[in-house]
Amino acid sequence: MATMGIRPDSQGKVRDIYDCGDSLLMVASDRISAYDFILPDEIPFKGEILTRISAFWFNKFADIVPNHIISMDPADYPEEFAQYSDYLLGRSMLVKKATTIPVESIVRGYLTGSGKKTYDENGTVCGIKLPEGLVEASKLPEPIFTPSTKAEIGDHDENISFERCVEIVGEDTANKLRDATLAIYNAASAYAATRGIIIADTKFEFGFIDGEFSIIDECLTPDSSRFWPAEGYEAGKVQPSFDKQYVRDWLRANWDMTGEPPYLPAEVVAGASERYQEAYEIITGEKFVPMKESNVSA
């Protein structure tokens, strides 16, 4: 697996984090996770695509909420990372340190996934009562804010009510989370519609940077969102998607969810990479060319 010779100070399912004193270097690997497992395969270009899609959205919605980006140019990184600039190009960003708010801000615009499961059981999603008669992929009357607690790697996030969110972070911060989450989602959904994409749901992370409420981590990527093609959309069936649902579906059909996850077939790895690249191109309106190749050709 491609990596660097410097041990990260912390490591998530996909990202490696390096403490640079007054800033952090976030590096998105090509690792992929599903069902709270990190799979043994890497998906080519995935880390770069996630980083560049996040940067696109961060820039697009900077007027709604500030973000943590300082630079994505390895020339601006601390000297010890210079020898790894080829690896870091495109897949990394130097960011401001933030005091992370310990709640994941999830917004759902359509009924699917775990929301569909609880709706079928009791007519609610995360405690929010919804109209009767909704089916798989139904558009909700309005987007709903459904926060969750953030779990350690290997554990499951826990959906919580807005009232519980208030108990955890305070009323003022909970209101900021809800309002920013819905504002970004609504603006992103309107833009995505012009690109032929439905954003079914997504999740954000926020924090305070020098006391200022800011969005951090990633933003509207295929790892944090469900992207559906608008063409052919029809409520009542599972939608094709540009996210890692493709990999989840293969695992569900070929693994009993016990023990370590299996290696993916070559065609599934290639298919996942193609879907990530397609998502990048549709969202940004630009053909995906790896930064390293672009840099060489320049």
**pTM of the predicted protein model:** 0.92
Q: Other C-beta atoms within 10 Å of 234: how many?
A: 8
298 pLDDT tier (thresholds 50, 70, 90): very low
Tokens standing for residue 86: 């080829």
pLDDT digits (tens, 9 = 90+) for 241-286: 887 888 999 999 999 999 999 999 999 999 999 999 999 999 999 9
Fold type of domain 100-243:
D-amino Acid Aminotransferase; Chain A, domain 1 (3.30.470)
pLDDT of residue 234: 97
Kindly report which listed range (103-107, 113-117, 151-155) carries the lowest average pLDDT score.
151-155
pLDDT digits (tens, 9 = 90+) for 3-19: 688 999 999 889 999 99
pLDDT of residue 3: 64
pLDDT digits (tens, 9 = 90+) for 52-69: 999 999 999 999 999 999
Domain boundaries, the chain: 100-243
Mean pLDDT for the chain?
A: 93
What proportion of the chain, given as a percentage, has pLDDT over 70?
Answer: 95
CA distance 79 to 155: 36
CA distance 291 to 86: 9
